[in-house]
C-alpha cells in the first residue's frame, strides 16, 4: 500500500494593517475601525485553505456535498482529496507527520482509536457543549460512538453495516426461497442453485469489502459472547480451529466461482459489481446499507430488489455484525479549528444529511425523511452491530484483516493465519 502524498494544508495569512492619514472624528474613527476590522477579517478568510477528504468517486452524493460546502464558504479555498478506503489512514498520518493538515476527514467514529492513540484528532467536546442546538441534532446516544477517553473526537452521519441486496427474479428462476436472513449453509445452497439454474453469478462484492466475510465470520463462530470478547482483545489464538473453519468456508465460495466475475473476483470494483447487478449478471449484491439506494437506482426497476440480512455463520445467539457509523473528524493540527468546526456543523446539518438520506444512508439525526419506500429496511439490523472486533487489537491487525483478507488466505493458506497470530502475540505479548 503506497501512501498518497498530500500537499496543501490549512493556514491563514497575516492580516493587513490599515493606517489612517487624515484627522477623523471619534465617530468616524470608530466607524472606520469597524470597516477596517471587517476588511481585515475578510482578508484573513480569503487566505484560508482547508483540505477535505470526504469525496468518494463510488458515492456520487459526496461530490455534490463538496460543491455545497464550497458554495456555503466562498471565503475558504477548499482542496478536495479523494477518499480511498485502502489509503485513508496512512494518507492522513503521512500528512500529519509532515506537518500538513487534512482538516476534515470522513472516517468511522468507532474506529477512531487508530488516530486517538497518537493525539491526531481534535477534541470536539467543548464545541458540542457550547452549542447545544448542534449537539441535540443527533438522536439520543448517537454521539457516544465517537467518544474516546471522555473526548468526543468524531461525529456520525450514518449508520453502516453490510447486507445483501437480492434480485428476486433470479432467485425465483433458481428455485431459491428469499428469507429475511439465511444461515451460512443456506447461503451456500442458494449459491449452488443459482449457479446450476441460471447464467448469473450468485454473489458480488467489491475487493475492499471482501473482508466482510472474514470479519462477520470471526464474530459469529464462537460458542458464546465471552469467547467473542476474549478473541477481540487478543486472548484467543488465530490458530484456533474455529478461526480456520471461517476462512475455509469463505475460501470455498471463491473456489467454486460463486463470486463475480469468477477469476479475478478478489479485485472487483464497486462500479463493476453495481453494473453487473443492474444487468442481472449478479444475483446477490454484498453491499453496505448506505449504498443500497445507488444499486437500486442502477437497476432502474428492471427487477424487484429485496433486502436480506447478512448470513449467520454460527449459532442463533451469536448473530452479530461488523459495522458502526460513518462520520467526520477534524485533525488536531488544523490551523483553523474554529473555522473547521463551522464547516463540520454544515456537513452535519439537515440540509446536507438529507442528501445522504436520499441515497439510502441511515442518518442518526433528527428531522430526516426519505422518499425511498425501503429506507426503513436499511436500518433494521443496526442493533446487531457488535462494538468490538479483533481489528482493534492493534493498527497492524486492523490493516491486515481489512486490506489483506481473505485474499492472503486464498493465495497462501495457513501462512495467513500464522501472520495474524504473529500480529496478535506482538500486540498482547503472549
Query: Could you tell me if 177 and 30 lie in one domain?
Result: no
Taking all residues of the chain, what is their mean pLDDT, rounded to a whole number? 88
DSSP line for 116-184: HTTT-B---HHHHHH-HHHHTTBPTTGGGGGEETTEE--EEEEEE-EEEEEEHHHHHHHT----SEEEH
Q: pLDDT by residue (tens digit) across 148-175?
A: 999 999 999 988 899 999 999 999 999 9
Query: Could you tell me if 312 and 424 lie in one domain?
Result: yes
Q: What percent of the chain has pLDDT over 90?
A: 72
Q: In residues, how long is the chain?
A: 430
Query: Could you tell me if 192 and 302 lie in one domain?
Result: yes
Query: Could you tell me if 303 and 183 lie in one domain?
Result: yes
Domain that includes residue 31, residue range: 26-160+324-378
Q: What's residue 141's pLDDT?
A: 82
Residue 90 counted as domain residue: yes
Q: Range with the lowest mean pLDDT among 22-31, 203-212, 405-414?
A: 22-31
Q: What's residue 35's pLDDT?
A: 42
Residue 384 counted as domain residue: no
Query: Could you tell me if 207 and 246 lie in one domain?
Result: yes
Query: Could you tell me if 188 and 65 lie in one domain?
Result: no
Query: Could you tell me if 297 and 233 lie in one domain?
Result: yes
DSSP line for 217-235: HHHHSSSSHHHHHHHHTT-
The answer on pLDDT for 377 being more than 90 is no
The arithmetic mean of pLDDT across residues 57-67, rounded, is: 94
Query: Could you tell me if 205 and 334 lie in one domain?
Result: no
Query: Could you tell me if 363 and 399 lie in one domain?
Result: no
- The pTM for the full model equals 0.71
| Cβ contacts of 276 within 8 Å, gap of 6 or more | 201, 204, 260, 261, 282
Q: What's residue 430's pLDDT?
A: 57
Confidence of residue 46 (pLDDT cuts 50, 70, 90): low
Residue 177 counted as domain residue: yes
The grid coordinates listed for 86 are 485502502
List the CATH number of the domain containing 179.
Answer: 3.40.190.10
The arithmetic mean of pLDDT across residues 308-326, rounded, is: 94
Query: Could you tell me if 248 and 332 lie in one domain?
Result: no
The answer on pLDDT for 414 being more than 90 is yes
Query: Could you tell me if 280 and 411 lie in one domain?
Result: yes
The arithmetic mean of pLDDT across residues 207-217, rounded, is: 97
Confidence of residue 180 (pLDDT cuts 50, 70, 90): very high
Residue found under cell 446477490: 284
Contact (CB, 8 A) for 91 and 102: yes
Residue 8 counted as domain residue: no
What is the rounded distance in angstroms from the CA atom of residue 356 to the CA atom of residue 347?
A: 11
Q: What percent of the chain has pLDDT over 70?
A: 89
Confidence of residue 300 (pLDDT cuts 50, 70, 90): very high
Confidence of residue 9 (pLDDT cuts 50, 70, 90): very low
The arithmetic mean of pLDDT across residues 378-398, rounded, is: 89
Residue 14 counted as domain residue: no
Q: What's residue 145's pLDDT?
A: 86
Query: Could you tell me if 167 and 264 lie in one domain?
Result: yes
The answer on pLDDT for 72 being more than 70 is yes
The arithmetic mean of pLDDT across residues 199-207, rounded, is: 97
Confidence of residue 36 (pLDDT cuts 50, 70, 90): very low
Q: What is the domain count for the chain?
A: 2
Residue 125 counted as domain residue: yes
Long-range contacts made by residues 258-266, C-beta under 8 angstroms, separation at least 24? Answer: 258/191, 258/195, 258/201, 258/202, 258/203, 259/201, 259/202, 259/203, 259/204, 259/205, 260/201, 260/203, 260/204, 261/201, 262/201, 265/205, 266/207, 266/210, 266/406, 266/407, 266/410
Amino acid at each position: 500500500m503506497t501512501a498518497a502524498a498530500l500537499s496543501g494544508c490549512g493556514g491563514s495569512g497575516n492580516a493587513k494593517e490599515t493606517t489612517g492619514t487624515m484627522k477623523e472624528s471619534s465617530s468616524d474613527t470608530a466607524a472606520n475601525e469597524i470597516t477596517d476590522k471587517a476588511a481585515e477579517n475578510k482578508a484573513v478568510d480569503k487566505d484560508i485553505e482547508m483540505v477535505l477528504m470526504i469525496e468518494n468517486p463510488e458515492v456520487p452524493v459526496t461530490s455534490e456535498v463538496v460543491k455545497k460546502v464550497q458554495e456555503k464558504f466562498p471565503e475558504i479555498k477548499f482542496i478536495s482529496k479523494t477518499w480511498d478506503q485502502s489509503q485513508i489512514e496512512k494518507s492522513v498520518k503521512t500528512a500529519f507527520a509532515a506537518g500538513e493538515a487534512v482538516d476534515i476527514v470522513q472516517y468511522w467514529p468507532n474506529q477512531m482509536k487508530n488516530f486517538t492513540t497518537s493525539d491526531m484528532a481534535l477534541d470536539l467536546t467543548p464545541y458540542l457543549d457550547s452549542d447545544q442546538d448542534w449537539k441535540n441534532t443527533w438522536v439520543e446516544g448517537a454521539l457516544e460512538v465517537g467518544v474516546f477517553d471522555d473526548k468526543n473526537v468524531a461525529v456520525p452521519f450514518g449508520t453502516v453495516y453490510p447486507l445483501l441486496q437480492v434480485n428476486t427474479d433470479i432467485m425465483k428462476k433458481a428455485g431459491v426461497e428469499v428469507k429475511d436472513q439465511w444461515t451460512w449453509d443456506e447461503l451456500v445452497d442458494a449459491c449452488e442453485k443459482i449457479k446450476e439454474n441460471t447464467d448469473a453469478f450468485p454473489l458480488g462484492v467489491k475487493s475492499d469489502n471482501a473482508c466482510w466475510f472474514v470479519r462477520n465470520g470471526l464474530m459469529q463462530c464462537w460458542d458464546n459472547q465471552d469467547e467473542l470478547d476474549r478473541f477481540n482483545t487478543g486472548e484467543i489464538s488465530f490458530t484456533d480451529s474455529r478461526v480456520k473453519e471461517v476462512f475455509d468456508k469463505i475460501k470455498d465460495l471463491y473456489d467454486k466461482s460463486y463470486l463475480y466475475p469468477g477469476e479475478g473476483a478478489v479485485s472487483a470494483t464497486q462500479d463493476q459489481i453495481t453494473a453487473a447487478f443492474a444487468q442481472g449478471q449478479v444475483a446477490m449484491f454484498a453491499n453496505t446499507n448506505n449504498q443500497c439506494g445507488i444499486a437500486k437506482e442502477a437497476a432502474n426497476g428492471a427487477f424487484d430488489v429485496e433486502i436480506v440480512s447478512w448470513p449467520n455463520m454460527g449459532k442463533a445467539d451469536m448473530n452479530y455484525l461488523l459495522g458502526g457509523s460513518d462520520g467526520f473528524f477534524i485533525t488536531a493540527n488544523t490551523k483553523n479549528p474554529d473555522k473547521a468546526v463551522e464547516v463540520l456543523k454544515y456537513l452535519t446539518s439537515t440540509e446536507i444529511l438529507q442528501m445522504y438520506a436520499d441515497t439510502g444512508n441511515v442518518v442518526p439525526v433528527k428531522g430526516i425523511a426519505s422518499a425511498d419506500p425501503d429506507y426503513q429496511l436499511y436500518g433494521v439490523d443496526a442493533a446487531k452491530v457488535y462494538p468490538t472486533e479483533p481489528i482493534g487489537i492493534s493498527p497492524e491487525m486492523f490493516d491486515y484483516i481489512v486490506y489483506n483478507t481473505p485474499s492472503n488466505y486464498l493465495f497462501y493458506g495457513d501462512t495467513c493465519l500464522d501472520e495474524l497470530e504473529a500480529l496478535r502475540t506482538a500486540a498482547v505479548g503472549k
